[in-house]
Amino acid sequence: MKSEKFCNNCPRMCGVDRVDVNGFCGCDFNFKIAKIMKHFGEEPVITGTNGSGTIFFSGCVLKCPFCQNYPISHQLKGNIYTASQLEYSIYDLEQQGVHNINLVSPTQFLHLLVPVLEKCKGRLSIPVVYNTGGYERPEMIRKLQGLVDIYLPDLKYFDNSYGMKYSKADNYFDYASKSIQEMLRQQPECVIEDGIMKKGVIVRHLVLPTLYKDSMKLMEWLSQQENRPLVSVMRQYTPCYDADKYKELTRRITTFEYEKVVDKCAELGLQGFTQLKGCETLDMTPDF
């Protein structure tokens, strides 16, 4: 049997020995973390009044050219952490009064993260949030059962060709859809107490220029799930970093494009969150 050091955390199944070679994600075998902070830029049920205790992991299994966290996802800014240091940081965030522990882009570190969560979970009095770009192996998500209370995945593309074009991810929807179904199996019910989410799944979708029809197909798929998640339809797309490599991505989305997707959600009876016009900036992106 292969040692777990031969990385197959994500659907790319690199199989590389990350002790010696970095994976597609850009990471070696150690935790790399860019920022640990109280974060106030998530959905209201995640942020609350005290903030979300957010841990931004460096690297990413996707290569979206418009990523607002580009300095850490592509340029790998961050510092090496041991498992013990991460465990301490989790407890420290809890002591600061945050509403949850929010793990942002953790997929590339699942081989290290599961043991840390197994140690921490019994001591934590607040939920653990798994905040992901959606490109996951359902087999790996199953390893998180009992360790994650709230899943917060992106669902970016229905048409796999867009996943390959914009995120260098083959079969994006095939993997993301199956992984979200596994998340919904683990957390079939959204539990919100005093305005703060305790359990459940929120599926995020960032509407991209020209792709609103693809977005509407994603909403149709979500509406067909036996256990419907909450849906967060985001209008915050901002042309930045490498977006200018694609002519169609060099503008913000229009009100028409965004409202077509929101109207589709209403038609299908999906519930969740929308964003006000004017959020299309990098103001809520932490300084990495």
CATH number of the CATH domain containing 39: 3.20.20.70
pLDDT attached to residue 6: 84
Question: What band does 264 get if pLDDT is binned at 50, 70 and 90?
Answer: very high
Distances (CA, A) of 46 to 2, 126, 201: 38, 11, 11
Give the integer Cα–Cα distance in Å for 238 and 166: 15
Sign of CA dihedral 101, 105, 107, 111: negative
Please determine, for residue 193, whether its predicted confidence score (pLDDT) is greater than 50.
Answer: yes
For residue 18, is it within any domain?
no
pLDDT in tens, 68-80: 999 999 999 999 9
| pTM check: above 0.75 | yes
3-state secondary structure of 202: strand
Closest CA to 272 of 222, 198, 221: 222
For residue 165, is it within any domain?
yes
pLDDT in tens, 204-244: 999 999 999 999 999 999 999 999 999 999 999 999 999 99
Please determine, for residue 22, whether its predicted confidence score (pLDDT) is greater than 60.
Answer: yes
How many structural domains does the chain have?
1
For residue 274, is it within any domain?
no
For residue 129, is it within any domain?
yes
Q: Which domain holds residue 62?
A: 31-208
For residue 164, is it within any domain?
yes
Please determine, for residue 113, whether its predicted confidence score (pLDDT) is greater than 90.
Answer: yes
Alpha carbon 108 to its chain's center: 12
